[in-house]
Structure 1
Amino acid sequence: MHKQNFKIILSFLLILVSNFILAQKKFTVVLDAGHGGSDHGAYRNYADIGRVAEKDVTLAITLKVGAMLEKNKDFKVIYTRKIDEYPSLSDRTNLANRSKADLFVSIHCNSSQRPTAYGTETYVQGPNQNDTNLEVAKRENDVIYLDEKDKQIFGSYDPTSPESLIALKLQQSKYLESSLLLGGLVEGNFVNRDKRFSRGVFQKNLHVLRMNAMPSVLIETGFINHPEESHYLASEKGQDEISQSIYLAIIDYKKAIDRKSGGNSYATKKVEPEKLAEVPLKNDFRILLMSSPTKYNDGDPALKGLNYILTIKENGQYKYYYSVTNMASVKDINLKTAKDAGFRNAYAVGFMPNQKLSSGYYTLEVYTGDKLNANSFIIQTLKDVERNKENGVFYYTYGKVYTLEDAVKLQKEIEAKGIKNTVIQKVYK
């Protein structure tokens, strides 16, 4: 055989073998049961069912999801834990990266200081959006202090530094759309299949997601502190429904990724990141839930259990805005969440970042009601409050700034001093 012909045949055979190996590559999913071992996560004690601990619920759901995926020949399942033990965050992320996984799914339960909080949430990695849900970020990130190696790896990380923000932006552009796709599928199944309340899909700087070189989500399956939802989480029925919804979301995710890559069975690795990347919008978008002459505080039933509410008073009307994002896909998810909660007339409103009011300013409405005396906490704490009276009601305002971002910052500053339930007010000259 001619030497040149032999090389051609050999090259052809190598291509065939290579394609065969690629065809046999299974779609690898790392399932992470949150917490474990000495780290109980969130927990509550109930008289009828005893202690409901996050580490037990997450393990039960994770094993059920894994068992369903293992029956599918296209999937390879890797567990960060299958028993009651505590793998460090770096152990979990290192395992996923070493395995060259296509997907990382971390399963958790939520908790809140408010006993009325309930519903599901899914988080993807990215810069914090207006510090929403600090409870989740603090709880999930504080576990680094349980392990010395984690403290060294994660403890020095400063999420506010320019270098960290650049790194987050780079990672976000690479995996964000894929992560959001899975997050939306998970939350959609919780709503449509299980008839549960979804609080939405959010970006958050979470250590267990940040170090992963693959699309990753963290699913909060419900609130341990909510009596009804906690019983659901602890029940066989609840765990079966939750695991089925997550499993089906992973199946649908793979199908969608396969379609984008032309049917490749291990699509996550073959899709070019630039084709997946979602370009941020120029404006920030908030979902306007309603306008009302009535002021509602956080947790009021009128807000239908939604968090991340920004209230802006304008021309005597209180406008209630839900969440904020500069990503079109997240905006659509937030709008769906608002409508599912009962705000059928909700719509998205664009806000130009750091835009100054051309004919007015922002101030904070810090109190409405009867006249405050000179010894009141608000008067003593904020020396420069202004008092107004309208229709027999006293309105006290504080501060003068010209951008919405500065108004939010001022609001947080006085909340730190103990003055809660303030409202940002637009004042026109």
Structure 2
Amino acid sequence: MQWKSANSIFVKIFTAFWLLIALLISALILLPKLDGRQLQPIKSSDARVIEQQKALLIELIDKNPLLSPRSILHLLPKNSEKRIYLTEPSGRLINASAPRKMLQFMLDSDSPNKTSKKINTYRTYFGPSLIQHNQHEFFIYVSIPNQKKSLELIEWLLDNPLLLLLTALLVSTPICAFFAWHLTIPLRQLRDLSTKVAQGDLETPFPIIKNSDEIAMLGKSIQLMVRSLKNMLNNQQRLLSDISHELRSPLTRLSLAASITKKHSGETKELQRINLEVERMEKMIAEMLNLSQIQLHQAKKEQLALHEFLEDLFLDAQFEASQYNKSFTYPTLSQVNINIYPELAYRAIENIIRNAIKYAHKYISVTINIEADNIILTISNDGPLIPSNELYNIFSPFYRLNLSRDRETGGAGLGLSIAENAMLKHGGKVWADNLGNQVSMHLQFPRFN
């Protein structure tokens, strides 16, 4: 396998997991060793503590030979932080009483030939150490104050595994979160870039990715892809313009020839048909250019008042519908703002309205639903219903619903496709459905950028 760069994501993730596992293993090994409650062999400094207490006890025995060991214990300094406990060789406690933790230490360290140490939260215990003097034989245990208060937390965690797990999570979560956040910054930048490119904004600036890992390579690949898309779309636009020019020239000559023929021979059905087809071809070429221009649209969105933007459009539609003895109704327009590409939004709504006027029997109605993040325009008409399996296909370029819809009614088949592309530019969508006995077209505009 080829060696990965030190800056690659593979190395970063592998190293992070390896360090995390190593840290966990180290914690599992070290934490029990930090638990002073485990028996430990004594050091030379610990041995001196025991020897000092033994010497003090022997001195008291020599001065008071008639006293018993228990009585001797009463002669020890009362204000001393060091505490002495004695047991007989049989294990019976000579002191009147002893703390529970000392008794537990005596049980744990019952080997007379091995002096041990145990560190508890507040005190450190030493013992046993044999004393044989003047026919006295007993074992001495010593406890002194523990200065290492920090061990209390470790012992508390070791006694509560769930709290230990919670502490590990609390410590590791911000570290992992920072690592994940740092790792995903360029991914979020590329996601935002891809979203803008998907909406047709090919001029958006590329994020500066300083890393040299796979994400940076992905960014460079996306940058090359966008450049290729721009070149391809520019070439497509140029090709459509050239085709339009090449088609319009013979169409113009054909129209001129038809006019000359009409002047010499008069109006005939054949000439009428020729002029009609020429007009259709010119209209289709214009719509193709409009579709191409929408796909390459690079303008910026503007914030407009919804009622001002739609009022004139709806009044024009109302007038046009009345020429066909059809009614066009719309609600009172709300005074809310919307971020749109004015020209594209106008084309999309106008194309949907004209399509509704064309196929409606008697009426066309508009409803507007204002949501928190979207504004939805619904344009309905009482024309023929669209088969459910065709509701998606009608937005494809040059698509015809059926053969009964010829060019007299169906147009060039580009109006709905233009509307869909305009909505995609907005980051919105358009869809159709049959509601009862009417066909409805819905245009969803995002209210904000």
The answer to whether TM tops 0.5 is no
TM-score of the pair, normalised by structure 1 = 0.17
Per the normalisation by structure 2, the TM-score is: 0.17
Please identify which structure carries the higher helix content. 2
Greater RCO (Cα-Cα under 8 Å, separation 6 or more): 1
Structure showing greater radius of gyration is 2
